[in-house]
Structure 1
């Protein structure tokens, strides 16, 4: 499993969650750190996080020899954008993987439709000026794998409606 954590945390904050996932799934859980988070150097952006996600996945597939079809990708909150983008990349012709293969599954916990939509939900129409980043709705169409969406109606960070929209799409 490759797990992408939320915005207000780093990999140290999700050790307990990932340990429970590893035990429950009898699996190894990789947690790439985002540039600029925790002890990781760099600047966080959708491009830098996607580059880390692709590098980790490429290493897992080439060094450990796990095919993408055996990898579960999971994201929580802001990490759902990176998770969906990685799933779409694995199944795309532009993937640098030898064989284009979809992931085993994609799990999204408290997802958003896009960063622009999130901005609009927080600051109104001005949020529409935000450059489009991580269009989760579009990436889900290209993922090519089973998708599980988990979202609580009383989520006070990412509106439940966003998860509903992804589910209905």
Structure 2
């Protein structure tokens, strides 16, 4: 939806509230918080304080980092909130600086600041609940940047990371875009975006980041992804698996071409929640 009232997420997804978080002086980001479906009945009409307190209810928390283009209100992102909310996860979906109703200007380091500010906010409220970083497309590089910084600068290991339709780094993603397909679907858009990110000094080097991570890492890729080829997801998996001491912590799952999930629609696969819960050892 092009025109969306971010303050009223309930028009698109139930059990959801909108909030704003100041991530550094002068930058405020918009966030939607969806609570687990099992708490849906009691969530009706509740305020932000109730939602914040709900974070400590022992259900796992997903920090959802969306891909490029659009906002947290895009249909496939709303589907993610519905699917994972129904599976009894909390989801915190933010629009980075310069996106949606968030202020500020997009930069790679700025995105990391936004994500870690949200992590700190969630960690302060979530008790012993696990917090999972979930990145899709562009968001996969944002996720690995944040998790690496958390580990290297604070000595904190993330509970888990899920990378959906990931690339190795922006340069390689831009070089691998099948131009004919892109021009047919949206003329030059994704290619130009990736190219301009690289020119703007944004690199999102997930292939370097995963070499130093130690947390559980799940990589998801559809065989028919026409934007980021699955060979990049596999390459990222192989890089991580080679570097990890405990190989069992790294998993790669592909979705068959016949499912037609492409780049954006893995969140429509009905078995996704069970697959993720199994990986996280969540009941």
Please say whether Structure 1 and Structure 2 have the same fold, judged by a TM-score greater than 0.5. Answer: yes
Question: Normalization by structure 1: what TM-score?
Answer: 0.84
Query: In the alignment, is the contact (CA less than 8 A) between 1:114 and 1:132 conserved in 2?
Result: no
Of structures 1 and 2, the larger Rg is shown by 2
Match of 2:104 in 1: 42
- Mapping of residues 15-94 of structure 1, within 5 Å: 15-24=78-87, 26-62=88-124, 64-66=125-127, 70-92=130-152, 94=153
Q: Secondary structure of 1:149's match?
A: strand
Greater helix share, structure number: 1
Per the alignment, residue 68 of structure 2 pairs with 7
- TM-score, normalised with respect to structure 2: 0.52
Distance 1:144 1:91 in 2: 9
1:114 positional shift = 0.5
Quote how far apart the aligned CAs of 1:33 are.
1.0
Residues 131 and 158 of structure 2 are in contact (CA less than 8 Å); yes or no, is this contact kept in structure 1? yes
Q: Secondary structure at the match of 1:16?
A: helix
Match of 2:91, SS state, is coil
The runs of 5 or more residues in structure 2 that have no matched partner are: 1-61, 180-194, 240-283
Aligned residues between the structures: 158
Pairwise CA distance, 1:8: 2.2
* Higher RCO (C-alpha 8 Å, min separation 6): 1
Question: 2:65·2:134 contact (CA, 8 Å) conserved in 1?
Answer: yes
Is the Cα–Cα contact under 8 Å of residues 75 and 81 in structure 1 kept in the other structure?
yes
How many Å apart are 1:5 and its aligned residue? 0.7
Distance 2:118 2:162 in 1: 18
Q: Deviations over 1:57-90 (max 9, x none)?
A: 111122x0446x8111101111101111122122
**Distance in 2, Cα, partners of 1:60 & 1:7:** 23
1:9 is displaced (CA, Å) by: 2.6
Instruction: Tell me the secondary structure at the aligned position of residue 219 of structure 2.
Output: strand
Structure 2 contact 71–99 (Cα < 8 Å) conserved: yes
Answer whether contact 1:11 1:38 (CA < 8 A) is retained.
yes
Indicate the SS of the match to 1:12.
coil
Runs of 4+ aligned structure 1 residues displaced above 4 Å come to none
Q: Is the 8 A contact 2:144 2:210 kept in 1?
A: yes
Secondary structure of the residue aligned to 1:91 is helix
1:20–1:114 distance in 2 versus 1, CA, 3 Å: same
Shift in CA distance, 59/45, structure 1 to aligned 2, threshold 3 Å: same
Q: RMSD of aligned C-alpha atoms?
A: 2.1
